[in-house]
Amino acid sequence: MKKFKFTLEVLLKTNKIFEAEIKKKLAEIMARYFQEMELLSKAEQERDKLQEDYNVLVLDGTNSETLNIWNSYIIYTVKIIHDHEVKLKKIEDEKIICQEELQKIMSEIKGLEKIKLKQYTTYQEEYQREQYLEIEEFVLFQVKQKATILQN
């Protein structure tokens, strides 16, 4: 009897390679996400510090020209924060799409592995059946030989 060969092995291997690529892509997305979160956090801290300094300047009676410059810095920092939030949203959307792709490919792999197991079980049953038939045939041959010998 031939060795067991899964008929969809190429598809299974291809899907496993694709799964590894998706996991790598997801890891890269997560690295970008955490990096962007770090940048957002730093920008928010900078904004808070600028706001505190601005409040101190107001209380100290600093002239309006200096206050306008500080205000411009604060507005610029707020824009940077907004940009980071937009980038984070895009990265989150990418992450969701990648996770959906990963879930889909993993379910395909699981299905293929179930099919492979079923085919292997069928192969094993057929192999055992053939082994049984060979043994039965051998026993019948032995019985016929003994019967022939006894008749002579």
Give pLDDT, residue 3: 80
- CA distance linking residue 74 with residue 59, whole number of Å: 17
Residue-wise pLDDT tens digits, 104-127: 999 999 999 999 999 999 999 999
Residue-wise pLDDT tens digits, 78-112: 999 999 999 999 999 999 999 999 999 999 999 99
- CA distance linking residue 81 with residue 83, whole number of Å: 5
Closest CA to 84 of 18, 119, 34, 13: 34
Phi/psi at 61 (5° precision): 80, 35
More confident residue, 148 or 61: 61
- Provide the phi-psi class of 61: left if phi over 0, else alpha when psi is between -120 and 50, else beta: left
Residue-wise pLDDT tens digits, 6-31: 788 898 999 999 999 999 999 999 99
